[in-house]
Amino acid sequence: MIPIEPIFMQRYLFLLFVLILCFSSALAQQKGSGPADRKLWLQYMDKVARPVMYNLGNDQLKKTMPVKLPDNTDNRTSRTQVAYLEAFGRTLNGIAPWLQLEVGNKDEVALRKQYRTWAIKALANAVDSQANDHMQWSGGQPLVDASFLAYALVRCPWLWENSTPKVKQQLIDAFKTTRNTIPVYSNWILFSAMIETFFCRYDLPYDAVRTEYAIREFTEHWYVGDGLYSDGMSFNLDYYNSIVIHPFLSTILDVLSLKNKRYQQQQQFELTAGKRYAQILERLINTDGSYPALGRSIVYRGGVFHHLANMAYTKQLPQNLSAAQVRGALTAVITKTLGAPKTFTGGWLNIGLYGQQPGLADFYITTGSLYICSTLFLPLGLPESDEFWSSTPEPWTAVKIWSGQNADADHALEIKK
């Protein structure tokens, strides 16, 4: 037997140790079962949403929510005033599909019942001019977050159907107020369109020009290729295709298509582009749930995967993305971004991506802005029996590649108009 020099033995053992760690990490990302993953998602959803929904349901959100702003904020007073509608609209939008669901085990049903109670009261307080938590509905930022609230009501008809006639009229009046705001020539035109889509969804008079304008600009003028739209006249390398553009545009088209067949071509175009962008997003999620911290609004945390979560929820994932691998990838994102130290203080989200990192914030960020991370929880609107939750765990693309498994090559999308 040839003796091995101690230095080579040390290097060999070190390399073996590293390989074992990498393999163990890859396996760890696959071990969660569907029921265990769902339980974890519900725990994090409750941790994020409870402070907002409980306090607004009890008419004390403005009293209890600490509003933190970055040093570079453009208007401290104005941003503080709109932070509460931000927190409410974004939180409710993310949990709306789960509120709509009727099934689940005893504990989940009880939790949903409690949240439904808070949500109905929260809606009432947000539009009641005599309530402590009456929201601000006029202005630029209120247009944004009124649209998230309108989107929530589109996703959860139960909330609209179980609101009182008085609250329904107050909501209608609040949404009409936003028509006084001319949206920025960017993804903001989708905010105006979503509010009109809410009116359309519930057979109320709506402005078809606003929905037409948004649909035409994106599908005919702002598509730049490979599943991506520009955000207005310029293309930016950020996550706004996921945060706003694809989810809003697809839902607007789906709702309008229920009323008439005018937008079938645009609906198919968006579905094709949306499937490609879902592929891109899934590939951006690393083995540990991290992802490139590119572009503005990165402190939205998991909200940058709004589109991927929505495609899973609406069961429109492309054929080469299984529900199980998307579940695994999104679970990793949840634990990475919401399980980091210093993510919460007193139960409220801190500004940051991995913990508390106020330097990552853009000038328009408030504490309320951060609750857009709730959109990551959209698949909770699928019952536990759905394949998203019941299927055997599978590795997502990054895990396959970086553990030495075989994986499919990636290819750009060409859409022929």
Residue 225 — φ and ψ, nearest 5°? Answer: 120, 160
CA separation, residue 302 to residues 24, 68, 94, 143, 338 (Å): 25, 20, 11, 22, 8
Residue bearing tokens 């394949």: 387
Among candidate residues 349, 337, 355, 333, the one with its CA nearest the CA of residue 399: 333
Q: In this predicted structure, what is the pLDDT of residue 417?
A: 66
Give the model's confidence band at 34: pLDDT under 50 very low, under 70 low, under 90 confident, else very high: confident
pLDDT > 90: percent of the chain: 90
- The pLDDT of 64-92, averaged and rounded, is 97
pLDDT band at 290 (very low <50, low <70, confident <90, very high): very high
Q: Please tell me the predicted confidence (pLDDT) of residue 339.
A: 98
Contact criterion met (CB below 8 Å) for 108 and 385: no
pLDDT, tens only, 146-175: 999 999 999 999 999 999 999 999 999 999
Q: Is the pLDDT of residue 29 over 90?
A: no
Q: Are 135 and 126 in contact (CB under 8 A)?
A: yes
- What are the structural domains, with CATH classification, of the chain? 52-402 (1.50.10)
**pLDDT by residue (tens digit) across 363-384?**
999 999 999 999 999 999 999 9
59 C-beta neighbours (distance < 10 Å), count = 18
Digit-coded pLDDT (tens) for 228-257 = 999 999 999 999 999 999 999 999 999 999
C-alpha dist (Å) from residue 330 to 151, 334, 336, 337, 395? 22, 6, 10, 11, 12
Given this model, what pLDDT does residue 12 score?
46
pTM of the predicted model, to two decimals?
0.92
| Helix runs in 315-360, H state only | 323-338
